[in-house]
Each structure stands twice: as structure tokens, then as C-alpha cells.
Amino acid sequence: MDKNVVESQLDLFLGHSLDGFSLIKSKYNLLRKDNVYHYTDIAGFKSIIEKQELWASHISFMNDRLEFLHGKELFKKHLNRNMNVDSDFQKTLLQNVIDRIDDEKSGWLMPHSSKDVFSLSFSYERDSLEMWRGYGRESGIAIGFDWERINNPSLNDGDQGMRLIRIEDYDELKKQYQNESEILPKNEIIFIPVPVVYDDYIKDNLVDDTIKMVIDYYNKRAVRTKDGDISVASDTLLDLIFLINPLLKHRGFKGECECRFVENYVEKAKDNYQIKFRNRGGIILPYIKYKMVDVNCRPIKRWPIHEIVIGPGLNQSKVIQSVKYFLEKKGMEDLADKVVASDIPYVET
């Protein structure tokens, strides 16, 4: 793509945080249409298949102890750097954001939380030693989701795509219809994980572009309307910061090649929505549940899975045999045929 065209993308910003987020994702190629892998253990795999659910974990209790803080500190640095100007409007705007960046939620039309941030994690790597090491002597499992079959299903081939819906919303829908085969779409979410950014140079440019995009838009608006719109501008920038933060991660985790499906909308905290808790590694891990459904918001009949990789471990061959048997007895012979062994001969001793 022509460099000038790429640079001008951010000029299309219309002052809305979601609009700005889309432009940033487009400029920095955060819209990858690649297959993704969800790494889990045997219990997690069994639950996913039987319940057709995926669980998003609280970002503060994941493997990076500085999760979410990394991006926040990066934004603070760039906000302060952009204060060195003569514009009173820009200084006031940025100071407003600096004063509020540690708030629990942003403001304006689409408030986002910095406290309740949940991530459903995937990897672009199908057979990652770094990921397998987390399962020690046990065999982990990587479920390979087919991006094309999820988002561009071929009805002639029997594919029905896949969407996610909060389990509480799905349970409400089941009450409205006599059976699940009659449910009509409502509140489902398109399955598009966004790549995590590890490269320090790219992160610096992305953060700087985000700040300047908002400044430029509201500078022009101030001239046009003779109104600085400080409050709206700072709310917009804070929304964007809270949207982008979960995607900025320390370069030391680059080997994970992670992409994420993140939920931190404050409006999602409805009365019927529940944060659940479970024991994981000796901590109480908060999580939320998504039901996996087809494009019509009904139970998945043909899974958009192209392979199931069994990780290295002391009993890898037994695990493969048991997973295939499990799938066959569940009437999923097509998935049983897609079970393969990791190519990595790693076993923790």
C-alpha cells in the first residue's frame, strides 16, 4: 500500500473511540485473517467440546504480572512527551487524560473498564514450545480454529460459521424459545481476535499515532466551532487508551504470538452478567463465559476446527488415543480424524 495512503488513514477519524480503534488496527495490520490456536489442558478441551463454551480470564491474573500496566505506562510516557507544545488546548486535554488514566473506567458514550478486563487468548503458532512448557509433564492441547470457515462459511459444505455470545444472554434466549434450534440471533459477537503488539518500535508509533489522531481531530473541531471540547476529547482519548492497553505486551512474551478477544465494556456489566471464579495455580481466577454458536445463534453442528494438536508429554500417545475415542463417542468422527501429534519432542523431566 502507498505510504501516503497509509498515513492518511488516520485523517478519516470522526471522533468516536471505536472508529479510531478500527483505524489504528487497520494501519498497524491488526486485522489478520489467519487460523488461530487455543491452548488448553485435557479438562479445558473436554469442557469446550461438551459445553460449546470458551472462558475469558481476567487479564490481571495471567502470565504477565504487569499485564495492562505495560500499555498504561507507555501511554503516560507519550502523553507527557506531547505536553511540550505551545497549545493550551493540547496541554489541557493531555493533562486531563493523565489525571484520569488510573481511573477504573473511561467516560463518554462507550465507557471501558481498566479494572474488569477479560481476555480470551489464542496464538498464531500451531506448535509452540513456549506454550507447551506451561503444561509440564502433561500434554496440552491446541485447538486450531479455521478463520475462513468461522467468518466466511460455505453453506454448501455444511459450515455455519461461529459467533460468541455471553452465556447469560444465551440462557435468556433459551427461555424465550421452545428449543435451541429456533433461537434467532441477538447480542452475538463476531469472532475476530486481535494480534498482541510486542515490538517496542511499533508500540511507540502506535501509541503516538493514537494520541495525535485525537489531538488533530479536536484541534480542527475547536477552530471550526470555537469550542475546545476538552471534556469530549479527553473522554475519547481515554476510551481509546483503555481499548488499546490490553493489546500492548512486553517483548519478552513475543514467542507466544498471541492474539486476543478482549471484553472490558462497562455497559456489559448488566445485572444478569456474572463474573465467575475458579481455582487455577493456587489463585482465585475471575473469568466470564461465552457460548459458541453458529451465525444463526444456534448450537454448532459442524465445528470450524481444522486440527487438534496434542502437545508433547510423557503420555502423548495415550492422550491422542483417548481424545480420538472421546470425540468418536461424542459423534464427532470428523474431529477425531483431525487429531495430530506435536512435532516437538519436548518432555519436562
What does pTM read for this prediction? 0.91
> What does the alpha-carbon distance between residue 210 and residue 52 come to, in Å, rounded to a whole number?
37
Q: Any idea which residue has 493531555 for its cell?
A: 94
Instruction: Provide the grid cell at 106.
Output: 473511561
**The amino acid at 317:** S
Which pLDDT belongs to residue 181? 85
Residue 5's pLDDT band (boundaries 50, 70, 90)?
A: very low
User: Any residues with CB less than 8 A from the CB of 166 and at least 6 apart, and which?
Assistant: 187, 268, 273, 288, 289, 290, 291
Say which residue, 44 or 109, is predicted with more confidence: 44
Instruction: Provide the grid cell at 322.
Output: 483417548
- Each domain of the chain, given as residue ranges in start order, spans 3-39+52-127+163-306
- List, for residues 209-259, the tens digit of each pLDDT value: 999 999 999 888 766 555 557 888 899 999 999 999 999 999 989 999 999
- List, for residues 232-244, the tens digit of each pLDDT value: 889 999 999 999 9
- List, for residues 119-128, the tens digit of each pLDDT value: 999 999 999 9
> What does the alpha-carbon distance between residue 69 and residue 322 come to, in Å, rounded to a whole number?
41
- CA 254 to each of CA 212, 257, 259, 283, 316: distance values in angstroms, whole numbers, following the listed order: 27, 6, 11, 25, 27
Give the up-direction half-sphere exposure of residue 62: CA atoms within 13 A in the CB hemisphere: 22
Helices and strands (DSSP H and E) totals, the chain: 12, 12
